[in-house]
Amino acid sequence: MWGRLRAACLAVAALAAPLAGCGPKLDDLAPGEKGQVATVQDGDTLTLASGLRVHLAGVEAPHRGWPLADEARAALEKAALGRAAELRYGGARRLRNGAALAQVFVKSEGGRTIWLQEHLVRAGLARVHTRKDNAARAPRLLALEAEARAAKRGIWADPFYAVRPASAVGELDRFVIVEGMVVVVASQAGRTYLNFGLDPRSDFTVAIADEDLPAFTGANAPGALGNMIVRVRGFVRDRGGPLMRVDHPAQIEILGKANGGWTLFPPSTSSASSPPPAPVLRGIGDAEGDAAGEAAGDAPPAPIDDTAEPAGR
């Protein structure tokens, strides 16, 4: 009898094992709160029945008033509202207002687990927007974004969200994705600059603070980025020309090597036969303004209501 019972238990375990393997792998994330999704504020923010407000980490849906904002919110409502949710953490857990910053998984009516970030990015209803203190699953999300962009799904069919060429960044003071060739790499005054043109007063530039440099290694090391075509994401400010502050590697995607251009890292290594233009010290003289904006996490302009995501999202 005991032998038959043991055999039956082993058979059940054998059947359960492959079923368990079909579920999402969550070992890379720390377990968090669970609860029912009570309300959805916008395309990347929801509230659990417990009252805990949750921002979907690593993504940014269209803001209120932007193209497809209503569609993004409707998609999140359809996927999550009224369903059991589990929060998982891959970095900083709270925003300054106490809202959770989490990867969120919900159960569908059929019992399937839906990773909300994946669901929205795949549908083209959110862009990847990671943080220095929370960049979990960035490679997977970036791959999903690229797939949606190639298929022109959702926001990727609207020029408002188009990837900007470095030669024409366009509107400042909002989150954008920019693509171009790094012409000059220079390190001065506590920052490393990736210049995308020959005139830093008008051409697009990326700045990396010395304190953030240790995270940029291998192919992402600034010294390796000269003459490379890259895609960068973040907020563009006017700092004597359009400048984007980058503080973690997930903000830079390497697309390939270009022909031509100069690399200067550090500045003293320049060749007398083909000297690159001297980089301008971007941000010097307005460091106070930079510090204020960067301490806020390069936050987008606040929406008009008092439920808006605080600086730091």
For the cut 60, the answer to whether the pLDDT of residue 275 exceeds it is no
Q: Which of 173, 165, 61, 213 is nearest to 123 (CA)?
A: 61
Whole-number pLDDT of residue 259: 66
Structure-block tokens of residue 253 = 């995607």
Question: What CATH number has the domain bearing residue 236?
Answer: 2.40.50.140
For the stretch 37-76, pLDDT in tens is: 999 999 999 999 999 999 999 999 999 999 999 999 999 9
98 and 189 together in one domain: no
**pTM for the predicted model, two decimal places:** 0.77
34 and 135, same domain (yes or no):
yes
What SS3 state is found at 59?
Answer: strand
Domain count, the chain: 2
- Say if residue 143 is in the same domain as residue 210: no
Do 43 and 102 belong together in one domain? yes
Is 97 in the same domain as 59? yes
Shared domain check, 250 and 270: yes
Asked whether residue 35 carries a pLDDT value surpassing 70, the answer given is yes
Q: Domain containing 103: what range?
A: 30-157
CB atoms near residue 78 (< 10 Å): 10
The answer to whether residue 258 scores a pLDDT higher than 90 is no
Domain assignment of residue 1, yes or no: no
pLDDT at 229: 96
**What are the DSSP calls for 101-169, one per residue?**
EEEEEEE-TTS-EEEHHHHHHHTTS-EE--BTTB-TTHHHHHHHHHHHHHTT-GGGGSGGGPPEEGGG-
- Using a 10 angstrom Cβ sphere, with 0-12 exposed, 13-18 middle and 19 or more buried, the burial of residue 208 is buried
Instruction: Tell me: cis bond preceding 303? Omega within 30 of 0 counts.
Output: no
Q: Do 91 and 116 reside in the same domain of the chain? A: yes
Pick from 124, 139, 157: which residue ends a domain?
157
Q: What is the pLDDT of residues 163-182, one digit of tens each?
A: 999 999 977 889 999 999 99
Any domain includes 8: no
Q: b or e along 109-126 (b: 16 or more beta carbons within 10 Å of the residue's beta carbon)? A: eeeeebbbbbbbbbbbbb
pLDDT at residue 162 is higher than 60: yes
Candidate from 195-204, 217-226, 263-272 with smallest mean pLDDT = 263-272
pLDDT tops 70 at residue 228: yes
Which one of 108, 126, 157 terminates a domain? Answer: 157
CATH number of residue 128's parent domain: 2.40.50.90
Nearest to 97 by CA among 294, 309, 300: 309
Residues 141 and 176 in one domain: no
